[in-house]
């Protein structure tokens, strides 16, 4: 649920989104312009070799199911290629829908946790409200002020995090990394084998950090930046708000312990 199904999408992320030449993208592309690797059937002709072709950024993007929602539900299977009159609207709608589906992904996870029983009603209402927003007419949805709704959802996600990590707070009290975690800066840090169980790593920069054999169980990982971090042998079981895209941006191996809803990125096993 709330995961991308590219077979049911018209390649929206390959068209709607812009990107600049960088370490993550081999060339510049304007929003609304199809990627040069997008085929007529809306499939990528180098999908299995994106990382080797300088398009690592594509492998760490997740629409959370927004692509197929727009393609199959909102526009009833009408594509932007066959119906150019709706193309711009589809492309403008896509990033809005993606943000709402990301919220639904997190809310759905929060509802599945036994620790959130005390706020279940509030979470359920937020879930219903967000679903209702995704069903609005395209023009109304494009005009939606997403930050306002995100703030309401975020408050519940913060409460969820506190409830999940409550019994592990002592583990992080007076932790030698507390200040760096608070400042969200652990770039390149040597955290091999470190016990971070129950830590609030929300939005923390862990770029190129050495997290081999680290204990990241029961941590809040929403928005944590794992680009080029080494998670080989790390324990991520019980962590919350971790996404497949975050794992795809990191390094790891078959000994890394993951939540059951996520899978090993292919480059971890090659």
Please enumerate, as own/partner, the contacts of 16-25 that have beta carbons within 8 Å and a separation of 24 or more: 16/90, 16/91, 16/92, 16/94, 16/95, 17/61, 17/94, 17/95, 19/57, 22/57, 23/56, 24/55, 24/56, 24/57, 24/60, 25/54, 25/55, 25/56, 25/57, 25/58
Give pLDDT tens digits for 134-157: 999 999 999 999 999 999 999 999
Quick one: how far is CA 239 from the chain centroid?
A: 14
Looking up tokens 């409830």 gives 163
Tell me the domains of the chain and their CATH numbers.
6-17+61-165 (no CATH), 174-270 (2.160.20.80)
Give pLDDT tens digits for 215-257: 999 999 999 999 999 999 999 999 999 999 999 999 999 999 9
Q: Can you give the three-state secondary structure of 66-108, one letter per residue?
A: HHHHHHHHHCCCCCCCCCHHHHHHHHHHHHHHHHHHHHHHHHH
pLDDT given for residue 173 in this prediction: 64
pLDDT given for residue 182 in this prediction: 79
Quick one: how far is CA 136 from the chain centroid?
A: 23
pLDDT under 50 in the chain at which residues? Answer: none
pLDDT given for residue 177 in this prediction: 75
pLDDT given for residue 175 in this prediction: 66
Neighbours of 102 (CB within 10 A): 22
Distance in angstroms between the alpha carbons of the first and the last residue of the chain: 28
With contact defined as beta carbons under 8 Å apart, do 199 and 178 qualify?
no
């Amino acid at each position: 649920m709330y995961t991308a199904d590219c077979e049911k999408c018209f390649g929206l992320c390959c068209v709607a989104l812009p990107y600049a030449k960088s370490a993550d993208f081999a060339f510049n592309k304007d929003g609304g312009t199809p990627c040069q690797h997008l085929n007529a059937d809306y499939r990528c002709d180098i999908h299995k070799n994106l990382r080797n072709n300088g398009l690592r950024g594509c492998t760490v993007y997740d629409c959370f199911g927004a692509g197929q929602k727009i393609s199959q539900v909102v526009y009833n299977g009408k594509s932007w290629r066959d119906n150019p009159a709706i193309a711009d609207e589809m492309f403008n709608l896509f990033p809005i829908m993606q943000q709402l589906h990301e919220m639904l992904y997190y809310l759905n996870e929060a509802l599945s946790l036994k620790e959130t029983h005390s706020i279940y009603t509030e979470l359920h209402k937020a879930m219903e409200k967000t679903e209702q927003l995704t069903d609005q007419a395209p023009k109304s949805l494009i005009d939606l002020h997403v930050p306002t709704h995100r703030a309401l959802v975020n408050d519940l996600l913060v409460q969820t995090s506190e409830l999940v990590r409550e019994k592990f707070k002592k583990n992080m009290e007076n932790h030698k990394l507390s200040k760096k975690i608070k400042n969200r800066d652990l770039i390149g840090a040597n955290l091999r084998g470190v016990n971070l169980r129950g830590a609030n790593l929300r939005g923390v920069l862990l770029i190129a950090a050495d997290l081999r054999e680290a204990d990241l169980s029961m941590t809040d990982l929403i928005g944590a930046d794992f680009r080029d971090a080494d998670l080989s042998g790390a324990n991520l079981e019980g962590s919350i708000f971790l996404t497949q895209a975050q794992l795809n941006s990191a390094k790891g191996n078959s000994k890394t312990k993951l939540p059951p809803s996520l899978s090993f990125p292919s480059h971890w096993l090659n």
